[in-house]
Amino acid sequence: MELTSLDLSILIDEFKVIEEGHVQKVYQRGQEFTLEVYVAGEGKKRLILGPDRAFLSKYKRDNPTRPPGFCMELRKHLGKIDSVEQRGFDRILEIKSGEHTLICELFGKGNFILLDGERIIGALRQEEWADRTIRTGEDYVYPEPTTDPRDTEDYFQLIDEGEIVREIASKLSFGGTYAEETLARANIEKDREVESLTDRERQEIQGQIEKMLNPEISPKLYLEDGMPVRSAPFTLEKYADHSERDMEDFSTAIDEYYYIRKKTEEKRKRREAYEDKLGALQRKKEQQEHKIEGLKTSAEEKRSKAEKIYENYRTLSQLKEKLEASIEAEGWDSTREKLDEADTEASKLVQGLNEQEEFFSADVDGGLKVYLFQNLEATASQYYDKAKESESKIESARKALSETEEELQALEEETVEVEEVMEDKSEKRSKKWFEKYRWFRSSEDFLVLIGRDAQTNDMLVKKHMESNDLYFHADFDGAPSVVVKDGQEAGEKTRKEAAKAAVTFSKTWKAGIGADTVYHVEPEQVTQNPESGEYLEKGAFVIRGDRNYMRNISVEAWIGPYSIEEDVHVPMAGPEDAVKEHCSDAVELRPGHTKKSDIAKKIQKRFNDYDLDLDYIIRAMPPGKSSLEN
């Protein structure tokens, strides 16, 4: 996932936390670096820098014991961090430390250049182009800057011709994803030519570009089948059908993106290594088992042949004497000719003569080698010896097989331990359809759904609101859509709880406003068809007909562990009566000054016995900072 200029402009605010901090260690892994920065009052922060990435991480990496030369230069010269800045709207990050500056070029192949003043004293990679050179001892020259769209009010001064999506992506340095998102929000096809746009469409695109450059930050991690596909600083329509996680900040979203992908890749490699080793051991086991069976068969056959000699001793002895006499008198060839011509019972027992090894094959209950010019007892003894030899090999083979089976058992136990370590408890169950939204069960057991943003407001009304539901909305712009399933059958208590949710999960909470007005209407009164000349933003609706107002509705939020399945609890947030009705324990939230993530950690600790997911707690809470009561 490559950072865009827009991404970096948003991350800069998060990087400010390391300003005034001190670089304690620098690690280098190929082309990726970790700057460990100690910040007073905050502790240690890890800034990850790569050719196409920059983010703060909570995860420790495996680092080489012997740092490369450029890494040592950074350790030597980077101390107190004075500032962290983006250069213009370029993908260039500047970290200043006294007289030294670390330039992070996060484009193309990426590069990191250490400056003393303007002079280059170190670089990850020495490079040369027609207009500039990256070489130790030279003065650093910045690449030609990109146009900063934040410096203009009319973005169409920069966008002149061609496909609109390409123009926004390149001329405004948005990149493909954010260019497509801009046009999706404006409801304009991305392959439209700039020249074909109407004044109204241009105005709509202008407005959406403005919002992209000044976004309401709501970081997301989008996943498909458990694998991260994108992290973003705000909701992206392109990933509407993906599962998503609300994240504390954009850095955390990027951090989780790389961490989960890395862990998944490590798990895949471990699985492949395990399967290779397992396959080799299983093949070895099969070969050993086959060998034991072969030795058993061989021992049985050899012992059987020895016994056949004694069972047919007289016949074989007579036949052996005649053959030996003939061979001594007339030779092998003549004896063989006589056997071919003979038609006696004795001659029919001889299947062949072997001159080289001096034996004949006798057809006695199957083939049997009888050696000439030695007594039958010696031949039988040879068969017995070979049977014993095979039997002794069986014992060795069984011992080897036992060792292989122990290796297999140890491997299986080791793999079980690996699987337990890698297990993600959040993926144990399929989530209910309504968990995409904020939700709670009213005290009368009606399902109340609350949109999270423009996109989910839109989806909630279009996909899930039915004729018997009730629609609630606070009486100001930007409030979420609230739908009570089967709400027309709900009592006054549920309606009041839904109204409280309409003001609680809105900007009213962020602003610390205690109460506001809410109205409710029936589903057929809610439409996205504005009057002629009016325009509706995505997620907004027009209400036709009379509204049922509920005045002086106060914010109210409690949270507790809700049993969504047998032995599975999830955090449910809503008005006091609703939460206490369905949760065995609950705590109160109020508008405050503490970050959501810090409050969520306290809630998770409070309900430690219920194994609540931290991300889920954050998603369930009202927007903005809070305080935790009781």
H-helix or E-strand containing 575?
A: none
Tokens linked to 126: 């020495």
Query: What φ, ψ does residue 378 adopt, rounded to 5°?
Result: -65, -40
- What's the rounded Cα separation, in Å, for the pair 245 and 252? 11
User: Do 227 and 258 meet the contact criterion of CB atoms below 8 Å apart?
Assistant: no
**What rounded mean pLDDT belongs to the chain?**
90
Cross-strand partners of 246: 220
State pLDDT tens for residues 525-568: 999 877 766 666 666 889 999 999 999 999 999 999 999 988 89
Residue 536: predicted pLDDT: 65
- What's the rounded Cα separation, in Å, for the pair 571 and 126? 53
Query: Of 571, 581, 586, which is closest to residue 629 (Cα–Cα)?
Result: 586
* DSSP code of residue 514: -
- What's the rounded Cα separation, in Å, for the pair 315 and 615? 90
- What's the rounded Cα separation, in Å, for the pair 453 and 460? 10
User: Do 460 and 451 meet the contact criterion of CB atoms below 8 Å apart?
Assistant: yes
- 0.75 exceeded by the pTM? no
Mean pLDDT over residues 489-510, rounded?
93
State pLDDT tens for residues 354-364: 999 999 999 88
How many Å separate Cα 441 from the centre of its chain? 31
**Please, where are the H alpha helices in 366-491?**
376-422, 454-459
Residue 309: predicted pLDDT: 92
Q: Where are the domains of the chain?
A: 5-134, 151-215, 435-628
Query: What φ, ψ does residue 116 adopt, rounded to 5°?
Result: -110, 105
Number of Cβ within a 10 Å radius of residue 275: 11
The answer for residues whose C-beta is within 8 angstroms of residue 105's C-beta and 6 or more apart is 91, 92, 111, 112, 113, 143
Tokens linked to 324: 């030996």
Q: What kind of fold does domain 5-134 have according to CATH? A: ibrinogen binding protein from staphylococcus aureus fold (2.30.310)
Using DSSP, state whether 102 is helix, strand or coil: strand
Residue 590: predicted pLDDT: 93
Higher pLDDT, 102 or 59: 102
H-helix or E-strand containing 247?
A: none
User: Do 560 and 585 meet the contact criterion of CB atoms below 8 Å apart?
Assistant: yes
Instruction: Give the strand pairing for 447-450 and 438-441.
Output: antiparallel
User: Do 221 and 236 meet the contact criterion of CB atoms below 8 Å apart?
Assistant: no
Question: Is CATH 3.90.1640.30 correct for 151-215?
Answer: no
**Location of structure tokens 């991350």:** 11
Query: Is 417 buried (19+), middle (13-18) or exposed (0-12) by CB count in 10 A?
Result: exposed
User: Do 206 and 215 meet the contact criterion of CB atoms below 8 Å apart?
Assistant: no
State pLDDT tens for residues 222-238: 988 788 999 999 999 88
User: Do 8 and 54 meet the contact criterion of CB atoms below 8 Å apart?
Assistant: yes
User: Do 438 and 472 meet the contact criterion of CB atoms below 8 Å apart?
Assistant: no
- What's the rounded Cα separation, in Å, for the pair 295 and 286? 14
Using DSSP, state whether 201 is helix, strand or coil: helix
Mean pLDDT over residues 579-585, rounded?
94
Residue 345: predicted pLDDT: 79
Among 209-218, 427-436, 607-616, name the one with the lowest average pLDDT.
427-436
H-helix or E-strand containing 114?
A: strand 111-116
Q: Buried (b) or exposed (e) across 461-494, using 16+ Cβ within 10 A?
A: beebbeeebbbbbbbeeebbbbbbbebeebeebb
Residue 418: predicted pLDDT: 45
Query: Of 31, 37, 35, which is closest to residue 50 (Cα–Cα)?
Result: 31
Tokens linked to 237: 């329509």
The answer for residues whose C-beta is within 8 angstroms of residue 260's C-beta and 6 or more apart is 223, 227, 228
Tokens linked to 410: 């140890």
State pLDDT tens for residues 346-394: 788 888 899 999 999 998 877 899 999 999 999 999 999 999 999 999 9
Mean pLDDT over residues 19-40, rounded?
94
User: Do 630 and 589 meet the contact criterion of CB atoms below 8 Å apart?
Assistant: no
H-helix or E-strand containing 284?
A: helix 250-311
